[in-house]
């Protein structure tokens, strides 16, 4: 077994395991010997006595390979597993230890399909960087135990499964910096460079970067960024501002990356977010050039990159976001700072109406909307928490002309235009 897996297993008892049930993580831990009364963690409470559960944790030494494998594994499992396997996202981490997060999946077998599932798992573990554990109930039904899959044939070491306290931070927060959000061009480029062989398009993207960057250069004219969720009216407002102010209109990701955007949107967060991060630096260079001649209006910039990344990495309610003032909300030191960031806010019903009238509403399913609602709230709150510069909210529900007038008032007050 690889050395890093051995080390991992040696520290097994200090790890917490987290399984997503209805967008809420349930936590448990493992102990070699149990003291006191055994209490089954609630993730096992509805599993039948004869059923087994399994966890798969991706343990690759290389993060690009690991993240891509984790991303593809969900589709593979969904295709191969029999119905009723209850596939859920899971992770394991050491509380408060940055970078300790391992991602994976949790599933269960029923009496009739256990051998099929075990064949799938054996094959997966033999060919891939994944650590599999199985969970079964003790004879007396009092206790769930965990057993490492690769040991299950010869004298397996059984760990008792115990409930664990809710940690101070959502597990995803531990690995967010430089995995979901990048704070320097160098960090984002490092990820893209590692993808050169598997995604040839990364070379073209990196080729668009300016040869040098100067984030401290102060633009001669104001730079105004317009932010907001899809269909809040960014395109409408940015085009009107361009005309009213005689400004240049730019966007992030920049036009020159549009041919590759779809390709990177299909990649796991590590690679996708690195692509958007690099896009901001290319736009920053275009801003630098244009802002020597006229005011510049930018449709989406850093706030979008960071807010969507943070809100996607955590699940559940807004309280799962990193706390206000946390390091993840800071502005990258090497990225141009705009003079003003306006955040368009809109009542969810009106936003849905605008989405529908634009013909892009994908689904009306109640469940999907519910899921979207929490996601929307997390993005909006993350937008508000990002600083350096922080955004100024503008109610986008009045008519397009009134929104333009309000935006012009904000710009004149802040940028003396
Ligand atoms: N202030 C407004 N009042 C009513 N409808 C608007 C307003 N601003 C934009 N719209 C309409 O809402 C839809 C989404 O606007 P758009 O500017 O494309 O948003 P975004 O660029 O943020 O996705 C479009 O059909 C647009 O015509
Ligand atoms: N500067 C940017 C712009 C967009 N993104 C990401 C964030 C979201 O996943 C999507 C949002 O893009 P979407 O297609 O909804 O945006 P528009 O149609 O351009 O308004 O792109 C980003 O990360 N950084």
Pocket test for ligand 1, best of 225, 227, 232, 233 (most atoms within 8 A of CB): 233
Report whether residue 354 contacts ligand 1, using a CB cutoff of 6 Å: yes
Average pLDDT, rounded, for the chain? 90
User: Average of pLDDT values for 372-396?
Assistant: 95
Among 155-159, 181-185, 217-221, the range scoring the smallest mean pLDDT is 155-159
b vs e for 275-307, b when ≥16 Cβ sit within 10 Å of the residue's Cβ?
A: bbbbbbbbbbbbbbebbeeebbbbbbbbbbbbb
pLDDT, tens only, 88-129:
999 999 998 999 999 999 999 988 888 999 999 999 988 999
Q: What is the ipTM of this complex?
A: 0.96
**Considering only CA atoms, which residue is closest to atom 16 of ligand 2?**
230
Residue 310, classified by CB atoms within 10 Å of its CB into exposed (0-12), middle (13-18) or buried (19+), is buried
Query: What dotted CATH number matches 176-415?
Result: 3.40.50.300
| Residue 152 pLDDT greater than 70, yes or no | no
Cα dihedral 370→376→377→382 (10° resolution): 150
Residue 364's pLDDT is: 46
Residue 365's pLDDT is: 47
| Residue 370 pLDDT greater than 60, yes or no | no
Confidence of residue 362 (pLDDT cuts 50, 70, 90): low
**Considering only CA atoms, which residue is closest to atom 8 of ligand 1?**
233
Instruction: List pocket residues of ligand 2, CB cut-off 6 Å.
Output: 230, 234, 252-253, 276, 279-280, 300-301, 304-305, 308
Q: Which residue has the higher pLDDT, 6 or 355?
A: 355
Question: Cα(328)–Cα(382) distance, rounded to whole angstroms?
Answer: 10
Q: Where in the chain is the domain with CATH 3.40.50.300?
A: 176-415
> Which of 131, 9, 134 lies closest to 73 in space, CA to CA?
131
Query: What are the residues facing 130 on neighbouring strands?
Result: 58
Confidence of residue 212 (pLDDT cuts 50, 70, 90): confident
pLDDT, tens only, 56-90:
999 988 899 999 999 999 999 999 999 989 999 99
How many residues does this entry show for the chain?
417
pLDDT above 70 covers a percentage of the chain that reads 93
Confidence of residue 363 (pLDDT cuts 50, 70, 90): very low
Q: What is the CA radius of gyration of the chain?
A: 24
Å from CA of 235 to ligand 1 middle? 7
Predicted TM-score (pTM) of this structure: 0.93
Question: Cα(3)–Cα(355) distance, rounded to whole angstroms?
Answer: 51
Pocket test for ligand 1, best of 235, 236, 361, 400 (most atoms within 8 A of CB): 236
User: Average of pLDDT values for 143-169?
Assistant: 83
DSSP letter (8 states) at residue 33:
S
pLDDT above 90 covers a percentage of the chain that reads 71
Which atom of ligand 2 is nearest to 235's Cα? 20
**In the numeric block, which tokens belong to residue 354?**
């605008």
């Amino acid at each position: 077994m690889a050395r890093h897996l051995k080390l991992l297993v040696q520290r097994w008892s200090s790890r917490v395991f987290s399984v997503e049930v209805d967008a809420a993580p349930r936590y448990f831990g493992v102990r070699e010997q149990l003291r006191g009364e055994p209490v089954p963690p609630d993730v096992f409470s509805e599993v039948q006595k004869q059923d087994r559960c399994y966890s798969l944790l991706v343990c690759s030494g290389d993060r690009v390979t690991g993240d891509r494998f984790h991303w593809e594994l969900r589709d593979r499992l969904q295709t191969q597993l029999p119905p009723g396997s209850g596939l859920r996202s899971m992770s394991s981490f050491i509380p408060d230890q940055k970078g300790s997060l391992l991602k994976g999946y949790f599933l269960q077998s029923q009496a009739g399909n256990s051998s099929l599932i075990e064949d799938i798992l054996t094959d997966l573990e033999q060919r891939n960087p994944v650590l599999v554990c199985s969970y079964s109930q003790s004879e007396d039904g009092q206790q769930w135990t965990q057993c490492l899959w690769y040991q299950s044939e010869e004298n397996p070491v059984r760990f008792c499964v115990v409930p664990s306290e809710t940690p101070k931070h959502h597990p995803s927060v531990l690995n967010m910096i430089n995995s979901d959000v990048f704070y320097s061009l160098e960090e984002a480029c490092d990820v893209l460079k590692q993808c050169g062989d598997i995604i040839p398009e990364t070379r073209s993207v990196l080729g668009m970067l300016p040869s040098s960057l100067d984030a401290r250069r102060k633009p001669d004219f104001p730079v105004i960024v317009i932010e907001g969720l899809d269909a809040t009216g960014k395109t409408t407002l940015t085009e009107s501002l361009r005309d009213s102010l005689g400004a240049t209109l730019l966007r992030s990701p920049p036009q020159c990356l549009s041919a590759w955007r779809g390709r990177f949107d299909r990649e796991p967060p590590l690679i996708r977010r690195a692509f958007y991060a690099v896009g901001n630096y290319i736009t920053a260079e275009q801003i630098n050039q244009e802002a020597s001649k006229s005011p510049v209006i930018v449709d989406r910039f850093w706030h979008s990159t960071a807010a969507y990344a943070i809100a996607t990495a955590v699940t559940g309610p807004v309280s799962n976001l990193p706390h206000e003032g946390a390091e993840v909300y800071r502005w990258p030191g090497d990225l141009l700072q705009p003079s003003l960031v306006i955040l368009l806010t809109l009542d969810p019903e009106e936003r849905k109406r605008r989405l529908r009238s634009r013909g892009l509403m994908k689904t009306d399913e109640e469940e999907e909307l519910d899921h979207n609602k929490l996601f929307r709230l997390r993005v909006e709150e993350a937008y508000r928490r990002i600083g350096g510069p922080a955004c100024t909210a503008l109610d986008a529900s009045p008519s397009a002309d009134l929104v333009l007038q309000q935006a012009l008032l904000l710009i004149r007050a802040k940028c003396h235009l």
